[in-house]
Amino acid sequence: MIRSDNGFFGEFGGRFVPEILLPALTELEDLFFGLRDDPAFWQEYLTLTQEFSGRPTPLTPLRRISKQLGGAQIWLKREDLNHSGAHKINNVLGQGLLVQRMGKKRVIAETGAGQHGLATAIMAARLGLDATIYMGAEDIERQYSNVFWMRQLGSKVVGVTTGAQTLKEALDEALRDWAASVENTHYVLGTACGPAPFPELVSYFQSVISDEIKVQSMKQMGSLPDEVVACVGGGSNAMGAFAAFLEDPEVTLVGIEAGGLSLKDGEHSIRLSQNTGETGIAQGYKTLFLQNNDGQLGDTHSIAAGLDYVGVSPILAHLSQQGRVVPDSATDTEVTEAFSLLMKTEGIIPALESAHALAGGFKRAQQMTPEQNLVINLSGRGDKDIFTVARAFPQAEWAGFLQREAERSSEIMQQKGVL
């Protein structure tokens, strides 16, 4: 069970926000603290995730890859099989229960890869709420299919054009909206970051992942796994995969960050390793941020929009400092290789974010023995990445198809007078 010390985890966390946001955060915290130990509330949440998102998600053995790599038995926790295609829906469904209790009629969210935005759009449609999703203009280009579906679902998607136009700027813009709308709007923060109580609250809902892994591994492996590996952007899927194992020291917990193109400034999103992130206070909380000596938050890069973020969950920053979570990273190239290997050997299409956990996990499994078990959290599926993956594995046929599709599309636009 994750419990902050007045919003802090060691030196990280807290609530460093403009005064105007404080009442909403306190209201949310009071509500959350009143519910989180109530078994009936947890059951209500579990029932919702079962009925709407198909939980529990399976734990799939990767028999062929395990044999090929010759190390530990590798298992995938299949968060990709959630409705909406990623673990993000867990947190959103949970926050939906809170929104209903608060009686607010509008929700806002930030999104990077678009999976959290999509999950929020789905929840808003289901509950009849107005939704506005903030997304960096750069990310809109990278993950347009999610933008398309968010709009079809009835959400307003606002492209953010300040700064590097990615997740960091989307989060800033969502905070600005909230400062004006806080009395009737709930901010559905999508990751285990931001001001208290969000890191704790998001981890609470996502912990359903590791609760299930625990039960499933006892049943399927006959023991707890030796290692659990997850990718780390903001940190919500990692906190979800780790939470139930924090008190089991025999289970090694590994977080894989985006190694990007290189370790040069602006070419990666590694915050937990030595000489990368440094303690800072921004976006409402204290954590390890990529920043310069003047305290300006830095630029990041990852092939995966969902990992392209300057900060990291204060809970993970703390656990990493304590040595409980082992930080590692995977480069863009290693990620596309792991992506391809999983697809071709096991018939599963992973999200590029989750493929970081695959790359890191496969490497570690090779150093282990066949009697050991390693679980990789497959946080999402790769359908959304079709354009990015098509660029990584170029095919003339695809380019030709896009050209013809663009022509068909503009013909229809002209016929309907949309242009």
Nearer to other proteins, 75 or 285 (CB): 285
Nearer to other proteins, 169 or 226 (CB): 169
Q: Which stretch binds other proteins (CB under 8 A): 63-71, 103-111, 273-281, 411-419?
A: 273-281
User: Can you give the chain as a three-state secondary structure string?
Assistant: CCCCECCEECCEEEEECCHHHHHHHHHHHHHHHHHCCCHHHHHHHHHHHHHHHCCCCCEEECHHHHHHHCCCEEEEEEHHHCHHHECHHHHHHHHHHHHHHHCCCEEEEEECCCHHHHHHHHHHHHHCCEEEEEEEHHHHHHCHHHHHHHHHCCCEEEEECCCCCCHHHHHHHHHHHHHHHCCCEEECCCCCCCCCCHHHHHHHHHCHHHHHHHHHHHHHCCCCCCEEEEECCCCHHHHHHHHHHCCCCCCEEEEEEEEECCCCCCCCECCCCCCCCEEEEECEEEEEECECCCCCECCCCCCCHHHCCCCCCHHHHHHHHCCCEEEEEEEHHHHHHHHHHHHHHHCCCECHHHHHHHHHHHHHHHCCCCCCEEEEEECEECHHHHHHHHHHCCCHHHHHHHHHHHHHHHHHHHHHCCC
Q: Which stretch binds other proteins (CB under 8 A): 122-130, 221-229, 285-293, 343-351?
A: 285-293
In angstroms, give the least distance from the CB of 109 to other proteins. 16
> Does the annotation mark 344 as catalytic?
no
Nearer to other proteins, 19 or 247 (CB): 19
Q: Per CB under 8 A, which of residues 43..62 are in contact with other proteins?
A: none
In angstroms, give the least distance from the CB of 28 to other proteins. 14
Q: Which stretch binds other proteins (CB under 8 A): 30-38, 240-248, 287-295, 378-386?
A: 287-295
Find where tokens 């700027």 sit.
169
Q: Which of 77, 88, 286, 384 is catalytic?
A: 88
Taking CB under 8 A as the criterion, the residue among 5, 19, 247, 371 binding other proteins is 19
Q: Which amino acid is at 24?
A: A
Taking CB under 8 A as the criterion, the residue among 2, 4, 17, 331 binding other proteins is 17
In angstroms, give the least distance from the CB of 283 to other proteins. 6
In angstroms, give the least distance from the CB of 195 to other proteins. 9
Nearer to other proteins, 26 or 410 (CB): 26
In angstroms, give the least distance from the CB of 10 to other proteins. 16
Q: Per CB under 8 A, which of residues 148..207 are in contact with other proteins?
A: 162-163, 168-169, 172, 175-176, 179-183
DSSP letters along 155-166, please? Answer: -EEEEE-STT-S
In angstroms, give the least distance from the CB of 25 to other proteins. 11
Taking CB under 8 A as the criterion, the residue among 284, 350, 361, 382 binding other proteins is 284
Taking CB under 8 A as the criterion, the residue among 281, 399, 412, 413 binding other proteins is 281
Measure the CA angle with vertex 377, ends 37 and 381; round to 5°.
110
Q: Which stretch binds other proteins (CB under 8 A): 20-28, 58-66, 202-210, 384-392?
A: 20-28
Taking CB under 8 A as the criterion, the residue among 8, 10, 16, 145 binding other proteins is 16
Q: Which of 4, 353, 379, 384 is catalytic?
A: 379
In angstroms, give the least distance from the CB of 281 to other proteins. 5
Please tell me the distance from the alpha carbon of residue 270 to that of residue 9, in angstroms, as a whole number: 20
Q: Which of 110, 138, 212, 346 is catalytic?
A: 110
Please tell me the distance from the alpha carbon of residue 205 to that of residue 46, in angstroms, as a whole number: 10
Nearer to other proteins, 155 or 300 (CB): 300
Residues in touch with other proteins (CB under 8 A): 15-20, 22-23, 162-163, 168-169, 172, 175-176, 179-183, 278, 280-284, 289, 291, 293-297
User: Which residues form the catalytic set?
Assistant: 88, 110, 379
